[in-house]
Each structure stands twice: as C-alpha cells, then as structure tokens.
Amino acid sequence: MKKIQDLIRPSIANILPYPPGKPIEEVKRELGLEEVIKMASNENALGPSPKASEAMKKAASNVNLYPDGNSYYLKQKLAQKLGVGMDEVIVGNGADEIIRIITETFLNPGEEVVIAWPGFVIYCIATDVMAGSLKRIPLKNYTHDLEAMLNAVTEKTKLIFIANPNNPTGTMVNKTQVESFMKKVPEDVIVVFDEAYCEYADENFPQTFRYMKEGRNVIILRTFSKIYGLAGLRVGYGIAKKEIFEEMNRIRQPFNVNRIAQSAAIAALDDGEHVEKTIAMNEEGKRFLYKEFEAMGLEYVPTAANFILVNIEQDGRKVYEQLLKEGVIVRPVDNYDLPNFLRVTICKGAENKKFIDSLKKVLKI
C-alpha cells in the first residue's frame, strides 16, 4: 500500500500550515497562569459592538436553520454603505476564504502570482495549492515596492496581491503610488487590494473603488475581524465588478457565512460609535508604544494599522517564549524572515503597559 504522502497533490507537499496566534486558554493551561493578555493576532481589544452582541443573541435561537446562502441582507447593507451594487459584493468566511476562492477561480498551474515579502502568508499557501508560481518581491523600507512589483510582471502573471496596510509591517502605499501603479499594470492582470486594516489608515489611503467602477480587473478585500471586533465569527467581504464574482460564485460554498455571523456583521455596520472608540483607542495606544520603544532605544516601523512591528535586536522567538511566561502573547515573525522582530497588537492602556513592563523585564532594560 502506498504511503499517504504519495497520494497527495504534489503542489501541497511543501506547504506548512498557517501558524495562528497562540490562544489565551492554551497559555493559561500550559504555564499555569491565571491572567494572560493576547497581543498577537491584531484583534480589537474593545471587543465587538454592543449592537453586534445583541444581534448574535437573537440569531442564536435559529441556529437549527441553515443561514441565507447568499447573505442577501448583509450584501444589501454593504452595497448601500459602499455605494456599489449587490452583485458587486461577495461575502466569505473571513477574507482568507475569498483569497482561496480567487486563486481557485483564476489561477492555472504555472501562472504567476506577484506579492510583496514579507507579506501575508495566506497568499503563498493559496498560490501553492493551485500549483501557481509565486514571485516574492522584497519590501523597500518595510513597504511595498510597487515599481519592482510591476517589473516582475510577465505574460504569465495572473494575480498581484497588495496588502494595504501590509501585514506584518503595518506600512501603507498611498494614493499617488497606487495611481501610478494602476496606470502601468496590464489590464488583464487581476489586482487584489487586501484592505483588512484600511479603517485605521489616514487620509492618504488610496480610494481603490474607483478602479473597480472603471471596469478594471480589481478585487478589494475587507473584513469584520479587525475594527469591527468580530474575528471569532469569521466574516470578510470583497468588492469587484459583477463579472468577476459571477465566476467566483461558481465555487463559493453555499452556506459559507453562518447565521450568527451575518446578523452580527449587519448590526456592526450600524455602530459608528464603536468604530470611533476603536480608532481613538488605537491612536492613544500607538502614541504610548512609540514613546516607550523610543525610550528603550528600540527601532519600530511606524504603522497605519492596529499593530506595530518592533526590532528587539535579538532572537524574537526566544523573547516571545519568555513573554509567554509573563502572561503576554505577542507574535514572533521569524516565519516572515524577520527573526529579530516582534509584531505587537495595539490594545487598551493597561494591556499596553503590561506588555511594556514585561518586555523591559525580559530584555533586562
């Protein structure tokens, strides 16, 4: 009998599973700690909108029924808010699922996908699953080098992923840079703007909807996981011209967004106050962490998102493990080829202070 390894598709043989942030419950159990804070996965430390929480409770009584397979009311709400047609919206089990649907719909074996590196690992996994050819273009000053990404495009290029702001660096390409890029990119290449953290960005953030409305082959991805505080429900969405989603819907699972998630997302869209509080918390936390890193003499990357990449000038994984013992979960980014850095989610005041106090203790500062 053949080994199971001999039966799998060759394109997935070397894929390593995506490493999620360590759960609070696991750290408590393993280390016997009573108090643990998580600053590893860029979640909203304020929690979900109260309106979303109430909607979840109401929806729970009907979980014996399948959800709306087309997410009609959520798509309707998004379309109204964004000024697009309902057929120009797709909803997924997190933006990650939509990324997979994109590659499964459009990418043939051997066709190229251009990404920036360090960048979101899911782009790599989704490309490898479809036996695509991945081109990783190094960041320039921790930011997408759009000119180099353009130079990497060939006749075989099918997709370009631009995470803006970028994960794990938190940097942003601005309106002028994106406009110049879009003037030069071939029209038959699909450009995916992954804007999971866009609500945290400033006024220089590019308005990518214009390219979709011009009929360009552009897909814009956003999520309810970050600023809306619904990471545990897994709701993401995409915007593109209807012809793109007509093809993607051929393979989208019919009940891919559950009933509770749809209800919570609809309610969250109505809670502007919660969004404003989240942005204010993020700005305050950002200022505090910048000041503390500067006082400690640590280089950090100024962020347009809700996390900060900081250079601790030693083995990041070892420091991460020591911080776990202090009850603080952050994210080592050695798998992003950044072995001396940590990625830290900006949280509430007490959590940010506990992290800084713990980091000083571990680094002996």
Q: Kindly report which listed range (2-6, 128-132, 302-306) carries the lowest average pLDDT score.
A: 2-6
Question: What percent of the chain has a predicted confidence (pLDDT) above 90?
Answer: 90
Both tokens assigned to 356? 């800084």
**In this structure, what is the dihedral angle of CA atoms 125, 129, 130, 134, given to the nearest 10 degrees?**
40
What span, in angstroms and rounded, lies between the C-alpha atoms of 153 and 157? Answer: 6
Q: What is the mean pLDDT of residues 58-76?
A: 96
**pLDDT at residue 16 above 80?**
no
Domain covering 52-268 in this structure, CATH number: 3.40.640.10
Angle at 192 between CA 68 and CA 201, to 5 degrees: 90
Is residue 287 within 8 A of residue 295, CB to CB? The reply is no
pLDDT of residue 34: 86
Q: What is the mean pLDDT of residues 76-85?
A: 97
Q: What is the mean pLDDT of residues 215-240?
A: 97
**pLDDT at residue 106 above 80?**
yes
Q: What is the mean pLDDT of residues 315-322?
A: 96
What span, in angstroms and rounded, lies between the C-alpha atoms of 37 and 24? Answer: 7
Q: What is the mean pLDDT of residues 9-15?
A: 81
Q: Kindly report which listed range (2-11, 107-116, 260-269, 346-355) carries the lowest average pLDDT score.
A: 2-11
Q: What is the mean pLDDT of residues 202-216?
A: 95
Cα-based distances in Å from 302 to 175, 290, 325? 18, 8, 28
Q: Which residues pair with 309 in a beta bridge?
A: 301, 343
pLDDT of residue 266: 98
pLDDT of residue 356: 98
Q: What is the mean pLDDT of residues 25-40?
A: 90
**pLDDT at residue 151 above 90?**
yes
Query: Residue 183: which pLDDT band, with cuts at 50, 70 and 90?
Result: very high
What span, in angstroms and rounded, lies between the C-alpha atoms of 186 and 184? Answer: 6
Is residue 177 within 8 A of residue 183, CB to CB? The reply is no
Query: Residue 27: which pLDDT band, with cuts at 50, 70 and 90?
Result: confident
| 3.30.450.70, 3.90.1150.10, 1.10.3720.10, 3.40.640.10: CATH of 4-47+272-363 | 3.90.1150.10
- Non-local (6+) Cβ contacts of 247 within 8 A are 105, 106
Q: What is the mean pLDDT of residues 122-147?
A: 97
**pLDDT at residue 20 above 80?**
no
Name the average pLDDT for the chain.
95
Give the largest Cα separation in the chain, rounded. Answer: 62
- Global pTM reads 0.95
**pLDDT at residue 357 above 90?**
yes
**pLDDT at residue 264 above 80?**
yes
Query: Whole-angstrom distance between the N-terminal and C-terminal Cα of the chain?
Result: 58
Q: Is 32 helix (H, G, I), strand (E, B) or coil?
A: coil
Q: Which residues pair with 222 in a beta bridge?
A: 237
**pLDDT at residue 46 above 90?**
yes
pLDDT of residue 306: 98
**pLDDT at residue 6 above 80?**
no
Query: Residue 13: which pLDDT band, with cuts at 50, 70 and 90?
Result: confident
**pLDDT at residue 29 above 80?**
yes
Domain boundaries defined on the chain:
4-47+272-363, 52-268
Cα-based distances in Å from 339 to 40, 41, 221, 334, 336? 16, 18, 29, 4, 8
Helical residues (DSSP H) of the chain, grouped into ranges: 24-31, 50-60, 72-82, 95-106, 121-129, 146-151, 175-184, 209-213, 242-248, 259-268, 272-296, 316-325, 349-363
Is residue 119 within 8 A of residue 161, CB to CB? The reply is yes
String of DSSP letters for 150-189 = HHT--TTEEEEEEESS-TTT-----HHHHHHHHHHS-TTS
